Amino acid sequence: MYKSDVEGLDAFVTKYKALNKEIAKVIVGQEDVVKEVLITIFSKGHCLLVGVPGLAKTLLVNTIADALGLGFNRIQFTPDLMPSDIIGSEILDENKQFKFIKGPLFSNIILADEINRTPPKTQAALLEAMQEKSVTTAGHTYELDKPFFVLATQNPIEQEGTYPLPEAQLDRFMFNVWVDYPTYEEELEIVKMTTANHKSAPQKVLNAEEIIYFQDLIRRIPVPENVLEYAVKLSVKTRASDASAPEVVKKFVSWGAGPRASQNLIIAAKCHAAINGKYSPDIEDVKAVAIPILRHRLVRNYMAEAEGYSIEKIIEELL
């Protein structure tokens, strides 16, 4: 597609800026959220968006799908949702032959809305697809569309009737992104945009083939040895049982991050470097992506909760 990787990375920066410009036509503010979702996509990861209702999480995902020229399906997760409702099921056709009808999971971008409202059996069906990029039903394996991303949402304030994701399943998500309230100025702009007849729509910037190319290109970015060592040491230091763990971890953390965190730190640091026009990541790039990658992989103990010591504070002390 491009003559060299350097030329490809230069083109990636241009496309990334164009993407941001198109997304900004619809989404006001939330620059960090948009950046983290796009890093997840170009890193072949999945993203968990946590925020109260009404913060345009669904609109954000839909807008990104439009700007990327990808298929988009929203699945509303409810307590009565079954695995077949998202994967699909076999039916008897007019010739009395079993025929597989694909479910909404067969698309490029899947918005799993309120993923913690569905029982573990249905959560597991989705998470198998996230890991294997395929689904198996009635003895047959079906490949999912490429590229494939799951962007799941969770509401942090309503805990009744929810089935919180276990830590092992949370680990499948590359980023845990907090979607916060807009500022006064941003909210003023949102109200102006959404209470008039005129509606902005993003233009398509990329297609599936280009996205797959940029994903592979980011994987090929070389990483200096000291950056690799820093990322792995950062993950290891979150484990209270390790000798290198600092006092804050030994005092406040029950469980630390696993090897998947180290992998994600490096691949996300590569992407973070690429969007900033660098041809190789440095330690600052690892630090820039550390909080959303580690936030859902550390489990605080009772002492941390009693003293009001947040996960973010622990990670910041590690950095």
Contact between 81 and 99 (Cβ < 8 Å): no
Q: Is 50 helix (H, G, I), strand (E, B) or coil?
A: strand
Q: Could you list the beta-strand ranges (E) of 52-162.
A: 72-76, 88-92, 98-102, 109-113, 134-137, 140-143, 149-154
Q: Which residues pair with 99 in a beta bridge?
A: 91
Contact between 5 and 278 (Cβ < 8 Å): no
Continuous segment of H or E residues that includes residue 254 = strand 253-255
Compute φ and ψ for 11, nearest 5 degrees: -65, -35
Contact between 139 and 98 (Cβ < 8 Å): no
pLDDT of 264: 93
**In angstroms, rounded to a whole number, what is the distance separating the alpha carbons of residues 231 and 82?**
39
**In angstroms, rounded to a whole number, what is the distance separating the alpha carbons of residues 177 and 103?**
27
**In angstroms, rounded to a whole number, what is the distance separating the alpha carbons of residues 20 and 62?**
14
**In angstroms, rounded to a whole number, what is the distance separating the alpha carbons of residues 263 and 13?**
23
Q: Which of the 8 DSSP states describes residue 163?
A: -
| Residue 219 pLDDT class (50, 70, 90 cuts) | very high
Residue 47 has pLDDT above 80, yes or no: yes
What is the token pair recorded at 161?
């009737």
Nearest Cα residue to 65 out of 218, 194, 204, 198: 204
Crossing angle (nearest 10°) for helices 57-68 and 31-42: 50
Measured from the Cβ of residue 243, the count of other Cβ atoms closer than 10 Å reads 6
**In angstroms, rounded to a whole number, what is the distance separating the alpha carbons of residues 302 and 66?**
44
Top-ranked range on mean pLDDT: pick from 28-42, 137-151, 241-255, 278-292 = 278-292
**Domain boundaries 5-210, corresponding CATH code:** 3.40.50.300
pLDDT of 230: 92
Residue 161 has pLDDT above 80, yes or no: no
**In angstroms, rounded to a whole number, what is the distance separating the alpha carbons of residues 211 and 213?**
5
**How far, CA to CA in Å, does 44 sit from each of 108, 126, 150, 169?**
12, 16, 10, 17
Contact between 300 and 254 (Cβ < 8 Å): yes
CATH topology of domain 221-318: Helicase, Ruva Protein; domain 3 (1.10.8)
Measured from the Cβ of residue 137, the count of other Cβ atoms closer than 10 Å reads 16
pLDDT of 145: 83
Q: Kindly report the CA angle at 149 between 257 and 33, in degrees rounded to 5?
A: 70
| Residue 160 pLDDT class (50, 70, 90 cuts) | low
| Residue 228 pLDDT class (50, 70, 90 cuts) | very high
Query: What residue segments make up the domains of the chain, in order of their start?
Result: 5-210, 221-318
Is 5-210's fold the same as 221-318's? no
Contact between 306 and 237 (Cβ < 8 Å): no
Q: Which residue has the higher pLDDT, 242 or 39?
A: 39
pLDDT of 292: 92
Residue 156 has pLDDT above 80, yes or no: no
Q: Is 114 helix (H, G, I), strand (E, B) or coil?
A: coil
The pTM (predicted TM-score) of the whole model is: 0.86
| Residue 301 pLDDT class (50, 70, 90 cuts) | confident
Q: pLDDT exceeding 70 applies to what percent of the chain?
A: 98
- Averaged pLDDT of the chain: 84
pLDDT in tens, 185-204: 888 888 887 777 767 777 88
Contact between 149 and 46 (Cβ < 8 Å): yes
Residue 123 has pLDDT above 90, yes or no: no
pLDDT of 159: 61
Contact between 64 and 100 (Cβ < 8 Å): no
